[in-house]
Amino acid sequence: MVLLLAACGGGGKTSSALGQEEIIPLKYAENLTLIKGNGYTEARLRNPWDTTKVLHTYILVEKDKPMPDHLPPGTIVRTPLSKALVYTGVHCALIHELGMVKSIGGICELQYIKVPEIIEGCRKGTIVNAGEGTNPDIEKIIDLHPDALLLSPYENSGGHGQVEKLKVPIIECADYMETSALGSAEWIRFYGLLLHQQAKADSIFAIVEKNYNELKALASSQAKKPKVMCELKSGSAWYVPGGRSTTGKLYKDAGGDYLFDSYPNSGAVPLSFETVFDKAQDADVWLMKYNQASDKTLSGIREDYSPYANFKAFKERNVYGCNTGYHTYYEDFPFHPDLVLKDLIKIFHPSLLPEYDLKYFSKLAE
């Protein structure tokens, strides 16, 4: 029975198979396990930085139902959320897509939120602006009386500061640490449970999964794979996605030869310029994301750091940028990776999508 439940739950997932517990099948997410119990749903988050440990366990209990007598250990969250404090623009966009902006009581990082309804709510005061996510206004949070805090955990962050003392459930949104784009996107099913939008979340994911796998299969038909490098130097380090990151996997799924695939990280890897140049000086395509008032240009990045001009991709004018100041790349990628995959396939193998126009990236002008 245990083996059967584990198989239903996908690779690496197990269940105690006690009582009336039933694994909710997940196909791609490695750091999330969902278990339906008697009067509750258990959401178990594996620690992505130490996969032998559990990052957090949540016990979801519907607000209009009595509290079950026997619950497994974990943080109790009454659902659906109705006054959540959401730290990231990514999850604000997802909640908006699920039709549940009314469940947002407050936000952090307003400057990164692109949902007009939420921006207007902050302007009117119906949604609390709690300031910076790294140092939110604790008094505003106390006055809000949120029923949950949705934030992204980070390795060695030392915890979440003063908000940990508020006795409010902290939902650690570790979807970005999955090792595949569809694994990250599948977390929409967890957020659907939190908001009582399970059917809508499942429907969205099913469409994303179908589109993504069809595009991936299309790209795999190409024998020639362009060598791909990405991003820009930031201070003394050049951060590149690790080979096990969702972005690194995305480049490969788009039919690219990702030059930093050998790094077994699921997050960003800080490298020296010399290391990047040694690996990527002959890259065919250079992708970069940035947030600034005007679009980057080739002359502009050369002025910023003249050695950029020594890369083959620069010399051959095959550099593509995404200005996240107005493009919704970060909002779309986690839960709609199929949209970004389409852009990358167009860049790597333009003949495969002759009628498609790029949505996020554009070739840098002179």
pLDDT per residue over 165-184, tens digit each? Answer: 999 999 999 999 898 999 99
For residues 226-253, give the mean pLDDT. Answer: 95
Kindly state the average pLDDT of the residues 309-317: 98
Instruction: Report pLDDT for 76.
Output: 97
Per-residue CA distances from 256 to 30, 102, 159, 226, 273 (Å) = 24, 41, 37, 5, 22
Q: How high is the pLDDT of residue 5?
A: 40
**Distance between CA 275 and CA 89 in Å, rounded?**
33
20 has pLDDT over 90: no
Tell me the C-alpha to C-alpha distance, in Å, between residue 122 and each of 14, 103, 207, 220, 301: 42, 14, 32, 45, 36
* pLDDT beyond 90 at 21: no
Query: What is the arithmetic mean of pLDDT over 317-337?
Result: 96
Q: What is the pLDDT of residue 160?
A: 86
pLDDT band of residue 155 (cuts 50, 70, 90) is confident
Domain definitions of the chain by residue range:
1-78, 220-363
- What is the topology classification, in CATH, of domain 220-363? Rossmann fold (3.40.50)
* Predicted local confidence at residue 139, as pLDDT: 96
The yes-or-no verdict on residue 25 having pLDDT over 90 is yes
Q: What are the φ/ψ torsions at residue 54 (nearest 5 degrees)? A: -95, 130
- Could you tell me the pLDDT band of residue 362, with boundaries at 50, 70 and 90? very high
Write down the pLDDT at residue 1.
Answer: 36
Q: Rounded to 5 degrees, what are φ and ψ at 219?
A: -65, -35
Q: What's the pLDDT score for residue 192?
A: 98
- Burial of 328 by CB count in 10 Å (0-12 exposed, 13-18 middle, 19+ buried)? middle
pLDDT of residue 19: 57
Q: Residues 218, 220, 222, CA angle at the centre, nearest 5°?
A: 95
Residue 6 has pLDDT above 90, yes or no: no
347 alpha-carbon distance from chain centroid: 22
pTM: 0.89
Q: What is the mean pLDDT of residues 335-351?
A: 98
